[in-house]
Amino acid sequence: MVRTSFILAIFLGLLAAACTTLHADWTPDGVPLCPGAAIQTAPLIVSDGAGGAIVAWRSFLNNESNIYAQRIDGNGNELWDSCGVPICTSPHDQTPFDMMPDGAGGTFIVWEDYRYDSEDIFVQRIGASGAVLWGWNGVAVCTATGRQFGPRLDSDGAGGAIIAWLDFRGGEYCDVYAQRVNASGTVQWAANGTPVCTAANDQLSLDIVSDGAGGAIVAWHDLRLNPNYDIYAQRLNASGTVQWTANGVPVCTAANVQKYPEMISDGAGGAIVAWKDNRRGPDDLYAQRLNATGMALWTANGASLCTTGTVQRFHQIGSDGAGGAILTWPDSRNGAWDIYAQRVNASGAVRWTSNGVPVCAAAGAQEQPQIVSDGAGTTFIAWQDARAGEYDIYAQRLTASGGGSCTPNGFAICTAANEQSFPAIAADGTGGAIVAWQDYRDGINFNIYAASTRFSSVLPAGIDFGTVDVGEHRDTAFTIENTGCSVLALNVGETCEHFSIISDELVPFLGPGQSLTVTIRFEPASAGAHSCEIATGTECSPVNCTGVGTDHATGDDTPLAPEATFLAQNFPNPFNPATEIVFGLRAPANVSLRVYDAAGRFIRELAAGIHPAGTYQKIWDGRDANGAAVSSGIYFYKLDAGAFSRTRKFVLLR
């Protein structure tokens, strides 16, 4: 029974090794950024500018929430302290609300803070090494009376940030304020911020983008024309002075309600604004482009992006890399929530199918889409997906023409047990993306996990060439397959003697779904055991090659002793009707070489007794100890030689 358990454990391990692998520390269903600690929710993510990402989240402990962050490289390795670095651990609650890269490998994080009992706005800068740069627990952006909440930020173009937020300092109604913080953490404008809009009634749900000239453009939905919300915007220069009409220019004042503006820069000093629009009754999506002077460049009150007569909600916006924008949203046109997307060019013309292309229309609900451009004309969208019951995380890569370049309805980022939800996504800078989410797989607490859109399969993961005479050669191939949704960079090359690559064409990249077969030649220049790790690129696992060179030219029948005792992989494998097994002994040993079936039952003994040091070849002809042919299936052969013990798998195909 002990032997059976051992053999089955080896069997399961070998099966796992034969499946799709991810390079370095990326693992199926993601890597935990702070496993088993306090409840962690609400992840935010930005690129670190070096192929990795920085993730921030809300961590609950002792009934209070604080903010932590972790940096991971492009292979999923944690670069900062285990469980991340504390960004703010002041008393009471802090809620991370927005973050952006600082341009130097670090990040800015802005949050709502209850340390003074009412919501205020604080910000922190974290360096590439994980050091907090602006003092413990952050810099106060606004601690005015009343509530301040909903902060968003973007770059000031000089190493600092411009932050806008919603503000109740005036009493009954909410206004919009902003502040600039320089690279060293010093506020640059009036204490507690400068007013962006203090018009009548409420201004809510804002967004901000850089104007490319040291200032920013802010948009919000506005109740000044009560009873309906409209969309307004304002530009501030580097000194905090408003540049457009006092209290902002109207972006859309169409009938009924317009809400929830989301923006990107147009790359020319202006912005593209998209919003939810009820002018026709149901929730539709419209967008407008504003130039640097605040002038609307598209159709009055916006260009329609989706007007199906059903509900579109919680839209997100990203750049198309050509002066236009791509929007994604959950859409109810098919009954359940699906994910759709639309592209609008710099002139306001929609570029994809009318009312958008389906990103995912799988069974169940798909919600909370997040979007990022890869900088090369393609876009990644990640979302939470209930096609299998509880929410999992899926993603899709869209080409510039709106086609999905991966599996229809997206590919799985995480399908672990229980719920995974609220994804965040950032470009990795090399044609892929990194996704973070909150994860309930342990059934106890939500924790933060992350994964890459880069998946690769390298099969087989190892090649054993068996025995080859010195001066002769044997060729075997392995295959690299891009099973993910990003372009895969390759760099295949041998790193040692006795082994060479003889494939004619070694491409530097593999697109999604593409594969490359590489032929390796083992041509031993000397007798003995040889090994080599064949590199495949920084994003794929290497292939470990082994082989034994034999020299019969001397006429000496004494086996040559290898440098270390070994058991080689059989050749061929799979096989029919027979296969060769090679083992080597560094010193004389009492040998037992036996074959077992997948259940651990003894099949046949191929070698037994004392053997001198040397290399040996044994043939198994697929028969048991009674000479009867065994059926097709998975088998194992095990070598015990003194203190050495090794088991390998082989497959008989009748």
Same domain, 459 and 551: yes
474 CB-contact burial (10 Å; exposed 0-12 / middle 13-18 / buried 19+): middle
Same domain, 583 and 627: yes
Same domain, 489 and 583: no
Q: What is the pLDDT of residues 227-243, one digit of tens each?
A: 999 999 999 999 999 99
Residue 317 lies in a domain: no
- In the chain, the number of structural domains is 2
346 pLDDT above the threshold of 50: yes
Q: What is the pLDDT of residue 556?
A: 45
Q: What is the pLDDT of residues 497-551, one digit of tens each?
A: 899 888 767 888 887 778 888 889 999 988 888 888 888 876 677 788 888 888 7
Residue 169 lies in a domain: no
**pTM of the complete model:** 0.74
403 pLDDT above the threshold of 80: yes
Residue 294 lies in a domain: no
Same domain, 642 and 569: yes
Same domain, 470 and 550: yes
Q: What is the pLDDT of residue 539?
A: 65
- CATH number of the domain residue 602 falls in: 2.60.40.4070
Residue range(s) defining the domain that contains residue 472: 455-557
Residue 303 lies in a domain: no
Same domain, 544 and 565: no
Tokens 């034994």 -> residue: 548
Percentage of the residues of the chain whose pLDDT score is greater than 70: 92
Q: What dihedral do alpha carbons 595, 598, 602, 607 form, nearest 10°?
A: 10
Q: What is the pLDDT of residues 431-448, one digit of tens each?
A: 889 999 999 999 999 999
Q: How confident is the model at residue 494 (pLDDT cuts 50, 70, 90)?
A: low
Q: How confident is the model at residue 75 (pLDDT cuts 50, 70, 90)?
A: confident
Q: What is the pLDDT of residues 13-68, one digit of tens each?
A: 332 333 333 334 577 799 999 887 689 999 999 999 999 999 999 999 888 999 99
Q: What dihedral do alpha carbons 265, 267, 271, 277 form, nearest 10°?
A: -70
Of 646, 634, 639, 520, which is closest to residue 575 (Cα–Cα)? 634
For residue 39, the one-letter residue type is: I
- CATH number of the domain residue 506 falls in: 2.60.40.10
Q: What angle do CA 238, 241, 243 make, to 5 degrees?
A: 100
Domain C-terminal end among 541, 557, 573: 557
Same domain, 470 and 534: yes
Residue 184 lies in a domain: no
Same domain, 633 and 545: no
Q: What is the pLDDT of residues 574-602, one digit of tens each?
A: 888 888 898 989 889 999 999 998 778 89
Same domain, 615 and 533: no
Average pLDDT, the chain: 89
257 pLDDT above the threshold of 90: yes
Residue 590 lies in a domain: yes
Question: Mean pLDDT over residues 165-183, rounded?
Answer: 97
Integer-rounded Cα Rg, in Å, for the chain is 31
Of 154, 123, 125, 153, which is closest to residue 139 (Cα–Cα)? 123
Same domain, 612 and 637: yes
Cα 65 from chain centre:
26
Domain C-terminal end among 507, 529, 557: 557
Domain C-terminal end among 557, 586, 612: 557
**How many residues appear in the chain?**
654
Residue 611 lies in a domain: yes
Same domain, 609 and 519: no
Q: Are strands 39-47 and 644-652 parallel, antiparallel or unpaired?
A: unpaired
Same domain, 539 and 460: yes
Of 475, 480, 482, which is closest to residue 499 (Cα–Cα)? 475
Residue 352 lies in a domain: no
